[in-house]
Homo-oligomer: A and B are copies of this chain.
Amino acid sequence: MALSTVSALAFSVFLVVHNDRFQPFEAAVGFAVFGYFFTCMLIPRLAPMFVKRGLFGKDMSKVGKPVTPETIGVIPAVCYLFLMILFIPFMYVRYYYNQSDNSVALSEPASLFPNGKLSSFLSGMLCLESMILLGMMDDLFDIRWRHKFFLPAIAAIPLLVIYYVDFGVTSVLIPNFIRNSFHIAGTAVDLGIFYYLYMGAVAIFCPNSVNILAGINGLEVGQTVVIAALLILNDLTYLFMGDIASAAYSVHLYSCSMLIPFMGVALALLRFNWYPARVFVGDTWCYFSGMVFAVVGISGHFAKTLMLFFVPQIFNFIYSAPQLFGLVPCPRHRLPHFNAKDGLMYNSWTEYTRETPLKPVMAAVFPILERLKLIRLVRNPQGRITKSSNMTLINLVIIWFGPKREDVLCEIILLLQFLVGFVMLALRHTVIPILFGFDNSWNMLQRFYM
């Protein structure tokens, strides 16, 4: 092992065990470093076993279409879970039971989370572990699209059930501007069962939206790294500016503690999945990482803020909808087209033939989209549309910026994701508090996290 690795690991051990008031935060960084090195060590050792078991894919955007191990995302995911379980003693206060006088006392610094919150954390871990299991089932058995869409909802059951038993609070605050417009007296409304449906919807949305923006080396992992970075930035604004005794401080410290170790294993996976990819991540990773965000958002009660960082994914879904729901013919693959001659990626096309004609409604809409630079059309000499570019964000970026090499294409999309997210982050802390009358994450949580 290189000297740099040894010293990094020694440093991570120091961060974990070092005892001061920054503690769960420092330990999270320690576990991230450890997770990075551990994942980097495991992937090259285990990947050949995946290929042997038939878990591999062909990289369509390379010369020779090399065989690449698939489903490798399960390795960092399982690493993350075990790291988080080992993290527990450094995250939660250990109560010490005194046998002589039957009393209970604290034996660790008060900067840690109280033990009473442990079951909420454990429900998140159960939910993630279920997601890994179901994701693996999907990668192994190729579950049908309309079935796999709901796998995250099944995996989220532990989260919802324990939320019901442990908290059960289902009211949300009403924004000021709505209260004023409709002359509502109360500040909160009890959503009842709809709150659980809402949480379930978040849990379905996050994993699937990561899964849908995929297909070029590094993009699946890259987007999760960017989202995690934005969420950590959001947490840090509370940690640096908020009151250390406030509920928001506690919530965002918790969020950080979940996301920083995630960052460690995700970066390790990115190293192997980056162009030219040595491994593919599989649906397991998309589901798992999306669920990490859902768990953090739901248990931190900032699921609405979370959505702000998924704008490119939401755009990609809406933009894809005409093809997903059959308004526009949808070929088996909508990946951009790799040109072996110049090594660049070009947008791919949907062709309109007598069997798959262009629907009249889209024939009307397409020229408008074309003018907005949201689609590229090819017409025959008679002016009839014969081809349109496939409607995914990846193809759109090629239309905007021209043909690019696969890694440059991925960098542009990730940069877009970061910039949009950063603008949203700024809006979140300026415009939104004015609309809601207060920073809504603070008040709601006061009761649970104090």
Using a CB-CB cutoff of 8 Å, which residues 284-323 of chain A contact chain B?
none
A338 CB → nearest B CB, Å: 29
A153 CB → nearest B CB, Å: 12
A376 CB → nearest B CB, Å: 40
How long is the Cα–Cα vector from A102 to B169 in the complex, in angstroms?
A: 12
CB contact between A162 and one of B118, B141, B158, B447 (< 8 Å): that residue: B118
Copies in the complex: 2
Chain B contacts of A168 at CB under 8 A? 94-97
Q: Contacts A132-B133, A447-B102: A88 and B162 contacting too (C-beta < 8 A)?
A: yes
Interface residues on A, range: 35 or more
Chain B residue nearest to A118 in the complex (CB): B119
Cross-chain contact A161 with B97 (CB below 8 angstroms)? no
> Taking the complex as formed, is A125 at the interface, i.e. its CB lies under 8 A from any CB of chain B?
yes
Chain B contacts of A169 at CB under 8 A? 97
> Taking the complex as formed, is A110 at the interface, i.e. its CB lies under 8 A from any CB of chain B?
no
Cross-chain contact B141 with A53 (CB below 8 angstroms)? yes
Using a CB-CB cutoff of 8 Å, which residues 145-192 of chain A contact chain B?
154, 157-158, 161-162, 164-169, 171
Chain B contacts of A82 at CB under 8 A? 130, 154, 157
CB contact between A81 and one of B52, B130, B171 (< 8 Å): that residue: B130
Q: Which residues of A pack against B, CB within 8 Å?
A: 46, 49-50, 52-54, 78, 81-82, 85-86, 88-89, 92, 94-97, 99, 102, 115, 118-119, 122-123, 125-126, 129-130, 132-133, 136, 140-141, 154, 157-158, 161-162, 164-169, 171, 447
